[in-house]
Chain A
Amino acid sequence: MRSIKVISAILCLLAPADYAMAQAVDGLAYETIEPSRIALGESATLRVTSFSRLKDVELPIIPGLVFENIGRSQGFDFVNGTAIPATFILIRVTPQFAGVFTIPGLTPNSRSIGLEVVSGDEPNPYTWRSQTPAPPPAPSVSLPKGVQMQAGGAAFVHLAIPTRAIYVGESVPVKIDVGLRPGIVTSVNGLPTLKGSDFTFNNLSKQPERREEAIEGSTFVVLTWHSALAAVKPGDFSLSAETLLTVKISTLSAADRAVASRLAWPLLQSMYNGIAPRDMTIGSSPSELKVLPLPTEGQPENFSGAVGDFYVSSDISPTSVAAGEPLTLRLHISGSGNFDRVDSTMFDHLDHWKTYPAKSSFTPSDAIGYQGEKVFEQPLIAAQPGEQSIPGLEFDYFNPNTRRYERAQTLPINVTIAASLASGSLDGLTGAQSLNSAPKGSTPGLRPDHPPPKNSVSELRPLYFRGPFLAIPTTLALILAGSWFAVRPSAARATSKAAERVLAQLDAAARAGDSSSFFEAARKTLLQTFAARWQMPADQITFEELRARLGTTGEDVERLFALADEARYSNYQPGGTDFQRWLRLIRGQLAGERK
């Protein structure tokens, strides 16, 4: 019982102290992410280290990042050689696309951290834990002149620019070195930036160069970025570079840390060994740069503003074409300088050639586009056949090394222009021997073009095979067929034809002396004719009817009918003249019908 009272008393005495300690360390937490630069498809581990009774943290929601709680553990965090009890929460961070992400603090007093996600297999310059065998010891170097350590000696920034004066428009390379002490600087948050107005900057190189150097007895990882700047106006300017880092910083003074080191109980030590990562911006010392104006004296008329050291060359392809065919003239400008001011004005003096807008392409040979080659492709068309010469192309620029304007010139190029194919040669299309030298008339060739057409048709299909056209003859045929059936043949014509046949038959009978057939056919024909004419049956035509209608002619007709009977029964044979007289009578009666 007594022992229980003693323990209770001790606990009562310790309770205020424990509460005070809890209040003191409450909120003392920091986060780290390893590695801080990963490739797409990999994951990083975000570790929340808390020196208080941290239960759980709320996972942030950041587009492009997936957070997954891995686990929770307890242990000790070693700060300045002192072990401090801590709680660790491990969170897996998986990116969904490349980019630079900022993860806000997961505890109330923690700072945000950065995560850079790259695509592909780009090397990770921030990976300080190499899987390869131990590298050789870093070379010992001294800090460049004018560079000062910052962040408590954990980092520095150095901006290297030309020490000479530069010219307006001149593109000069610059270099930014960022030195970091591994273990103290936990991450580089973003790319360094250049501070300075009246300058234009190229983009920083995508991948910094990385090397390790021993500076003042400590190993530094030095990251180097390259860029190029150009001044837009003359004058004296100041330039500097800066970058944002996350550095582990002790929050206690040296005296407090000495007290803490003397404490034996880790729980009490933790009260005096506060440490936290802190985002801070460190910058380089300002660098002075003098910018001179371009000299006006001797400035060429066609000066485009190109400043640098350039070399030019040219070529053409093909070297032999037919008149009217295109060929391509290429101008290569290589060297170093502001290639963005190199234009195609040198093509403006190509007289006697038909030109089209030139195309250009630039192939840099370094990471910042300060050195490289720019190629202009100029399409040309020769109007006249024969040996043609393309004059040398002139390119004016200012050389800052010699401090004067210079002119680069290409050599003239000779090309062979064959006669146009339209004038009788097919060399260009078949590669055959030239036909131009052959005598005119004996050599076949392409005949010249025709004048512009005036008439045209909507389609090449012949009219026969088009539906709309076929409707025309069809309609015409229908109309004509209808007309043919609609129109009755002429009665007179039909009669006339019958009469002609009968007369021919009578004539034949008369020549043969067949009186019986002659008179019988004559009577039959006349009776049919009179019946048709008088609209009455033939057997009702009497002699009285004949005399009444025909008068004296009726008597002749009556006589003819009587002779028909006589010839039939008495073998009457009239003379040749009689046959002709009766034929005239019959023809006259039939003709009277036609009239």
Chain B
Amino acid sequence: MRASKNSMLLASLALWAGQAFAQPSQSPYSADGLYNLANSYARSGKLGLAVLSYERAALLAPDDPDINANLAYVRASAHVPMKPRNLFSRLGQATSPSSAAWLGVLGLALVGIGLVARRVAPRFLWIPGSGILLGVALIALAASNAMLLWPRMHEAVVLIDQTPARVTPAPMGDTAFVLREADSVTMTAEHEDFILIRTGRGLSGWVARANLGAVVPPVGSDR
């Protein structure tokens, strides 16, 4: 009876996950589509929107050379420095987040199956042992990818040139400093129509929400 209940619970979880993934896409994103969109923004002089679209495209296809090249070019044209990526970043982002996530699931399965196999069959222990090692490597890859992506969940691009970062989250608040178009900032808090940002130089200020574009837009939002 207990095993039957557990099976039903697991089946329900799997069904829920399947239904969630089977939902029709409301605002489909694709690396190529975002890349082409970024190119059109760049041609029309909207560097902030171009960088934002390139960043989003790079999120889906981090190893695409065209995306990285155009992103670097537009950033250079906007006189916005680009942060160099270290070896760990390059390894962690060697594959797309989706692929890394599924590889992590595969690694988890390999580790689990290897452990169970070693418990069941005492002979040829090197086979489950190898599977466990491979699984651990895949899980490490997925974990590092997720760790690298986590900061980008809170990253935003400045869309308007000379965007003021204010001391207080109010339209009439004093200006602490000014951001350039296509600057990348980190969102740390929000209050009504303002977002508290932190720049790469460690400066913090409140910026109007309309002047920023989140690299990972909230669900149901285009920005």
B155 to chain A, nearest CB (A): 11
Residues B153 and A461 in contact, CB atoms below 8 Å apart = yes
Does B140 have its Cβ within 8 Å of any Cβ on chain A? no
Interface residues on B, range: 35 or more
Q: With A460-B60, A471-B16 given, is the CB distance from A429 to B28 under 8 Å?
A: no
Residues B42 and A476 in contact, CB atoms below 8 Å apart = no
For chain B, residues 10 to 25, give those with C-beta under 8 angstroms from any C-beta of chain A: 10, 13-14, 16-17, 20-21, 23-25
Residues A463 and B43 in contact, CB atoms below 8 Å apart = no
Does B216 have its Cβ within 8 Å of any Cβ on chain A? yes
Q: Which of A420, A444, A449, A463 lies at the interface centre, i.e. has the most chain B CB atoms within 10 A of its CB? A: A463
Does A477 have its Cβ within 8 Å of any Cβ on chain B? yes
Residues B28 and A458 in contact, CB atoms below 8 Å apart = yes
For chain B, residues 47 to 94, give those with C-beta under 8 angstroms from any C-beta of chain A: 47, 56, 59-60, 66, 69-70, 72-74, 76-78
Does A564 have its Cβ within 8 Å of any Cβ on chain B? no
Residues A457 and B98 in contact, CB atoms below 8 Å apart = yes
Residues A487 and B44 in contact, CB atoms below 8 Å apart = no
B40 to chain A, nearest CB (A): 8
CB-based nearest A residue for B43: A421
Stretch from B111-119, B172-180, B187-195 that touches the partner? B111-119
For chain A, residues 283 to 338, give those with C-beta under 8 angstroms from any C-beta of chain B: 322, 324-325
A468 is contacted by which of B17, B60, B111 (Cβ under 8 Å)? B17
CB-based nearest A residue for B55: A460
List the count of A-B residue pairs having beta carbons below 8 Å apart. 170
A480 is contacted by which of B31, B66, B109, B142 (Cβ under 8 Å)? B109
Interface residues on A, range: 35 or more
| Docked pose: A483 CA to B7 CA in angstroms | 12
Residues B115 and A463 in contact, CB atoms below 8 Å apart = no
Residues B146 and A450 in contact, CB atoms below 8 Å apart = no
A454 to chain B, nearest CB (A): 8
For chain B, residues 103 to 135, give those with C-beta under 8 angstroms from any C-beta of chain A: 104-105, 108-109, 111-113, 115-116, 119-122
| Docked pose: A260 CA to B73 CA in angstroms | 105
Q: With A464-B149, A472-B105 given, is the CB distance from A428 to B112 under 8 Å?
A: no
Residues A446 and B42 in contact, CB atoms below 8 Å apart = yes
Residues B119 and A460 in contact, CB atoms below 8 Å apart = no
| Docked pose: A483 CA to B43 CA in angstroms | 58
Residues A446 and B73 in contact, CB atoms below 8 Å apart = yes
Q: With A444-B73, A484-B119 given, is the CB distance from A469 to B42 under 8 Å?
A: no
Contacts of B216 in A (CB 8 A): 460-462
| Docked pose: A469 CA to B36 CA in angstroms | 28
B17 is contacted by which of A446, A455, A462, A472 (Cβ under 8 Å)? A472
| Docked pose: A455 CA to B149 CA in angstroms | 22
| Docked pose: A5 CA to B25 CA in angstroms | 114
Residues B32 and A426 in contact, CB atoms below 8 Å apart = no
B152 to chain A, nearest CB (A): 9
For chain A, residues 463 to 501, give those with C-beta under 8 angstroms from any C-beta of chain B: 463-465, 467-469, 471-484, 487, 489-490, 492-493, 496
A590 to chain B, nearest CB (A): 15
B77 is contacted by which of A430, A454, A461, A479 (Cβ under 8 Å)? A430
B44 to chain A, nearest CB (A): 7
Does A136 have its Cβ within 8 Å of any Cβ on chain B? no
For chain B, residues 155 to 210, give those with C-beta under 8 angstroms from any C-beta of chain A: none
Contacts of B108 in A (CB 8 A): 473, 476-477, 480
Contacts of A489 in B (CB 8 A): 119
Does A456 have its Cβ within 8 Å of any Cβ on chain B? yes
Contacts of A469 in B (CB 8 A): 17, 21, 101
| Docked pose: A488 CA to B211 CA in angstroms | 61
Residues A462 and B149 in contact, CB atoms below 8 Å apart = yes
| Docked pose: A472 CA to B103 CA in angstroms | 12
Residues A458 and B32 in contact, CB atoms below 8 Å apart = no
Residues B35 and A449 in contact, CB atoms below 8 Å apart = yes
| Docked pose: A147 CA to B115 CA in angstroms | 118
| Docked pose: A460 CA to B70 CA in angstroms | 20
Does A441 have its Cβ within 8 Å of any Cβ on chain B? no
Residues A453 and B32 in contact, CB atoms below 8 Å apart = yes
Q: With A451-B32, A467-B20, A476-B105 given, is the CB distance from A462 to B97 under 8 Å?
A: yes
Q: With A325-B44, A461-B219 given, is the CB distance from A429 to B77 under 8 Å?
A: yes
| Docked pose: A324 CA to B45 CA in angstroms | 13
Residues A457 and B30 in contact, CB atoms below 8 Å apart = yes
Residues B25 and A487 in contact, CB atoms below 8 Å apart = no
Does A459 have its Cβ within 8 Å of any Cβ on chain B? yes
Between A and B, 15 residue pairs with Cβ closer than 8 Å are A429-B44, A444-B76, A451-B32, A452-B33, A457-B29, A458-B27, A458-B29, A460-B215, A462-B98, A462-B216, A463-B102, A465-B153, A471-B14, A476-B105, A479-B112
Besides A459-B219, A471-B13, A480-B111, 10 new A-B residue pairs in contact (Cβ under 8 A), listed by A number: A325-B43, A444-B73, A446-B42, A452-B33, A459-B29, A459-B217, A460-B59, A461-B153, A465-B153, A476-B112
Which 4 A/B pairs are nearest by Cβ-Cβ distance? A480-B112, A468-B20, A456-B28, A493-B122
B binding-site residues for A, Cβ under 8 Å: 6, 10, 13-14, 16-17, 20-21, 23-33, 35-36, 39, 42-47, 56, 59-60, 66, 69-70, 72-74, 76-78, 97-98, 101-102, 104-105, 108-109, 111-113, 115-116, 119-122, 142, 145-146, 149, 153, 215-217, 219
